[in-house]
A and B are shown apart, each in its own frame.
Chain A
């Protein structure tokens, strides 16, 4: 089994707000992230796939294809977007880094052909990242 990781970057804005909470609760739980006008990050995405090395090509996965899928499914949808308003998953879900990693996993998992998705890692900043390994 060999693991291959491809990185990508996207920039997006978001805010954390739960309509079931009172304004005070939202401010207490989410702090500055609750600012109603939103704020943004430069996200780094790392997608790790695993599989056996194809003896003919020497590849675990066709990188060009992986790059295209990541672009189509993730970057086209999330880059330079306001996640709460423009990405369907976050109409009713808070776009925390945890939920972004899960949404990206769900967007990618069924699109890969040979290799299997192993991990989606999303860096919100260099000091904060989330790993999602699928539903365990």
Chain B
């Protein structure tokens, strides 16, 4: 029987929303306070949902130790306490949480094969969240 398993992780990072394709005024209008040249930070919550048949022997969709290990190595170690604008994936891309969500999804999709990836959901604050399902 197929079930969905979701696990939440925390990391903290800074970013600045600024697009080279826009004039300073446009950046200001579009991104408001998020365009502050010195950046600002968030405590991000990443919710990863995987699915698959529940293994008869273990009662699990996948072993949490494997998922935690993968996310710790490939996602948290990469983004936690970083300035997102300095990372290569955001060299030519604005580090909005939409884009961050897509990157995290692609990392998990590419590297974690012990269950099917359904969705990555990121809460930037308690008030806003973003989801990407491929």
Q: Which residues of A contact B (CB under 8 A)?
A: 16, 18, 20-21, 29-31, 93-99, 101-102, 126-133, 135-136
Given contacts A102-B54, A130-B6, 6 further A-B contacts (CB under 8 A): A30-B58, A98-B59, A102-B1, A102-B3, A131-B5, A132-B4
Looking across the interface, which residue of chain B has its beta carbon closest to that of A25?
B57
Asked if residues B58 and A131 are in contact (CB atoms below 8 Å), the reply is no
| Given A31-B65, A102-B54: A131 touches B6 (CB 8 Å cut-off) | yes
B 35-65 to A, binary, CB cutoff 8 A, 1 in contact else 0: 0000000000000010000100111110111
A27 to B61 CA separation, bound complex (whole angstroms): 18
Looking across the interface, which residue of chain B has its beta carbon closest to that of A29?
B58
| Given A16-B59, A94-B59: A99 touches B4 (CB 8 Å cut-off) | no
Interface centre among B5, B59, B60, B63 (most CB of A within 10 A): B59
- CB neighbours (8 Å) of B65 from chain A are 31
| Number of inter-chain CB pairs below 8 Å | 59
The contact of A132 among B3, B9, B64, by CB within 8 Å, is B3
Looking across the interface, which residue of chain A has its beta carbon closest to that of B65?
A31
A18 to B3 CA separation, bound complex (whole angstroms): 20
- CB neighbours (8 Å) of B3 from chain A are 98, 101-102, 130-132
| Given A101-B3, A135-B1: A128 touches B58 (CB 8 Å cut-off) | no
The contact of A130 among B4, B8, B63, by CB within 8 Å, is B4
B50 to chain A, nearest CB (A): 10
Looking across the interface, which residue of chain B has its beta carbon closest to that of A30?
B58
Asked if residues A96 and B60 are in contact (CB atoms below 8 Å), the reply is yes
Interface centre among B2, B3, B4, B57 (most CB of A within 10 A): B3
- CB neighbours (8 Å) of A29 from chain B are 58, 63
- CB neighbours (8 Å) of B7 from chain A are 127-128
- CB neighbours (8 Å) of A136 from chain B are 2
Asked if residues A93 and B57 are in contact (CB atoms below 8 Å), the reply is no
B7 to chain A, nearest CB (A): 5
- CB neighbours (8 Å) of B64 from chain A are 128
